[in-house]
Copies of this chain bind each other. A is one copy, B any other.
């Protein structure tokens, strides 16, 4: 069941195997996201989990090399890529406080004059993508290049079918983008921005790919090739935003149960960071009512309980 890609330390392998066995025996798994057909078709019993260590070792259990739709997990990487380019100026256009409301809510956006509460609600991610697009001319391409480089997987790509489905169901995000544009907090044309945004969300990647791509956050900002993407302080900041805002309206609950910076996506994936130690990525398509993978949260909960590696 386990495939190891390098020969270095596999410290957490026994823990992953135990978790995989427990998950096997657990019945309920929630329901896959059903707003687009390609997500709804996934089997809720699928499960994979990977650990990436600081030296680039990656290993896992279950379907840890099976690509799935990364969705909102990509928000972490676009945040890091834009923060690396513009620094603190970004925070004049998006906040870093928990939203206290379901992830699509327009209410707080209206009260706060078009400034989204944080980069991980859809409105905030649209702002980050808009700014990265202004700076690079191809935000989605920038993201893809980064993910390929960090994961070492040149085949990693967008899923055109999913991107098209997102576009066809894009009225809520179009509303958010036009609404913020009415407050002059969006620079690009809304259709251009939405195209960039939906392509990003459509990235297909495996637990192994995403665990590796996240290691710069466990290495305090250093990429896999040894260059620095973020300052130590910025890396800490991204981790802080993940912990307080990374799992929609369940950030408090996630902090309470798992106690690690994490970010979930409606494709059923969750990445998590143990600063200075390793990263994790877990995937299982069945979601709870707040949009987080049921088995994914449970597996991370078990991981921190069994290893004592919570930040608290």
| A contact residues vs B (CB 8 Å cutoff) | 95-101, 105-108, 110, 117-118, 171-172, 174-179, 181-182, 190, 233, 235-237, 239-241, 243-245, 249-253, 255-256, 259, 261, 275, 305, 310-312
B243 and A98 within 8 A (CB): no
Number of copies: 4
Closest residue of B by beta carbon distance from A290: B97
Given known A-B contacts A101-B100, A172-B182, A179-B106, A244 and B236 have beta carbons under 8 A apart: no
B241 and A256 within 8 A (CB): yes
In the bound complex, what is the Cα–Cα distance between A149 and B260 (angstroms)? 32
Given known A-B contacts A106-B106, A259-B240, A253 and B172 have beta carbons under 8 A apart: no
Q: Please indicate the chain B residues that have their CB under 8 angstroms from the CB of A259 in the complex.
A: 236, 239-240
The contact of A244 among B106, B117, B178, B244, by CB within 8 Å, is B244
A251 and B98 within 8 A (CB): yes
Given known A-B contacts A243-B255, A243-B312, A312-B243, A178 and B171 have beta carbons under 8 A apart: yes
A251 and B97 within 8 A (CB): yes
B190 and A181 within 8 A (CB): no
Q: A219 → chain B, closest Cβ, in Å?
A: 12
Q: A278 → chain B, closest Cβ, in Å?
A: 14
The contact of A97 among B172, B235, B252, B305, by CB within 8 Å, is B252
In the bound complex, what is the Cα–Cα distance between A41 and B253 (angstroms)? 39
A-B pairs with the 8 shortest C-beta distances?
A: A100-B100, A98-B98, A175-B179, A171-B182, A311-B311, A239-B312, A175-B178, A97-B252
Q: A203 → chain B, closest Cβ, in Å?
A: 23
Closest residue of B by beta carbon distance from A97: B252
Given A172-B178, A240-B255, A240-B312, 4 additional A-B pairs, CB 8 A: A236-B256, A239-B312, A244-B244, A261-B312
In the bound complex, what is the Cα–Cα distance between A172 and B106 (angstroms)? 12
The contact of A175 among B101, B182, B239, B244, by CB within 8 Å, is B182
B245 and A252 within 8 A (CB): yes
